[in-house]
Amino acid sequence: MGTIKWLRMLDPLRNVFEKFGVDYPVMRKILEIKLLMDGRRAPTLLQKSSKNADPATMSNQFIKSLWIYIVLSLVLVPLVAMKMNFMFQMSLVFGILMFMITTSMISDFSSVLLDVRDRNILFSKPVQRKAINMAKLLHVAIYLLLLTGSLTVLPLLVGLYRHGILFFLLFIVEIILMDVFIVVLTAALYWLVLRFFDGEKLKDIINYVQIGLTIAMTVGYQFISRLFNLMDVKVAFTAKWWELFIFPTWFASSFEWLLGEGGNMYVIIFSVLSVVGPLAALWIYSLLMPSFERNLQKLATHQARGKMNRLRLADRLSVLFCRGNIERLFFRFSWDMMGRERDFKLKVYPQLGFSLIFPFIFMFNILRSNSGFAAMREGRGYLFVYFCAMMIPTIVLMLRFSGSSKGAWIYQTIPLRDSAPIYKGAVKAMIARLFGPVFVFQAVVFLFIFGARIIPDLVVILLSVLLYTVISFMVLDKELPFSRPFQNTQSGSTFVFLGLMILLGVFAGAHLGFTFLAYGKYLWMLLLLVFNFIAWKLAFRKGSLNHLTYD
Contacting positions for another protein (CB under 8 A) = 1, 26, 29-30, 33, 36-37, 40-41, 55, 116-117, 119-128, 294
Closest to another protein by CB, 31 vs 396, is 31
- What are phi and psi for residue 121, nearest 5 degrees? -80, -45
Give the nearest distance from C-beta 26 to another protein in angstroms. 7
Closest to another protein by CB, 128 vs 412, is 128
| Cα–Cα–Cα angle for 298, 304, 309, rounded to 5 degrees | 160
Give the nearest distance from C-beta 187 to another protein in angstroms. 20
Closest to another protein by CB, 300 vs 313, is 300
Length of the chain: 551
Rounded CA separation 532/461 (Å): 12
Give the nearest distance from C-beta 126 to another protein in angstroms. 4
Rounded CA separation 72/75 (Å): 6
Rounded CA separation 111/34 (Å): 11
Closest to another protein by CB, 117 vs 234, is 117
Rounded CA separation 145/463 (Å): 51
Give the nearest distance from C-beta 300 to another protein in angstroms. 9
Closest to another protein by CB, 264 vs 487, is 487
Closest to another protein by CB, 253 vs 295, is 295
Give the nearest distance from C-beta 9 to another protein in angstroms. 20
Rounded CA separation 476/496 (Å): 7
CA distances from 249 to 5, 301, 438 (A): 40, 39, 35
Closest to another protein by CB, 119 vs 380, is 119
Closest to another protein by CB, 22 vs 545, is 22
Give the nearest distance from C-beta 196 to another protein in angstroms. 14
| Cα–Cα–Cα angle for 8, 10, 13, rounded to 5 degrees | 130
Closest to another protein by CB, 122 vs 348, is 122
Give the nearest distance from C-beta 439 to another protein in angstroms. 40
Give the nearest distance from C-beta 39 to another protein in angstroms. 9
Give the nearest distance from C-beta 143 to another protein in angstroms. 17
482: alpha, beta or left? (left if phi > 0; alpha if psi -120 to 50): left
CA distances from 174 to 237, 240, 269, 307, 483 (A): 20, 21, 15, 47, 49
Closest to another protein by CB, 191 vs 514, is 191
Rounded CA separation 417/36 (Å): 49
Give the nearest distance from C-beta 3 to another protein in angstroms. 8
Rounded CA separation 447/385 (Å): 11
> Which helix (H) or strand (E) covers residue 463, if one does?
helix 455-475
Closest to another protein by CB, 264 vs 488, is 488
| Residue 381 · residue 366 · CB < 8 Å | yes
Give the nearest distance from C-beta 292 to another protein in angstroms. 14
Closest to another protein by CB, 293 vs 378, is 293
Rounded CA separation 165/146 (Å): 23
Give the nearest distance from C-beta 37 to another protein in angstroms. 5
Distance of CA 131 to the CA centre of its chain: 34
Closest to another protein by CB, 21 vs 513, is 21
| 3-class secondary structure, 475 | helix
Closest to another protein by CB, 130 vs 162, is 130
Give the nearest distance from C-beta 101 to another protein in angstroms. 25
CA distances from 201 to 194, 264, 342 (A): 8, 44, 12
| 3-class secondary structure, 401 | strand
Helix and strand counts by DSSP (H, E) for the chain: 23, 0
Give the nearest distance from C-beta 123 to another protein in angstroms. 5
b/e sequence 454-470, b meaning 16+ C-beta within 10 Å: beebbbbbbbbbbbbbb
Can you spell out the DSSP letters for 15-46?
Answer: HHHHHTT--HHHHHHHHHHHHHHHTTS--GGG
- According to DSSP H, which parts of 297-435 are helical? 313-321, 325-340, 342-369, 373-378, 391-398, 409-413, 420-430
| 3-class secondary structure, 484 | strand
- According to DSSP H, which parts of 230-259 are helical? 247-258
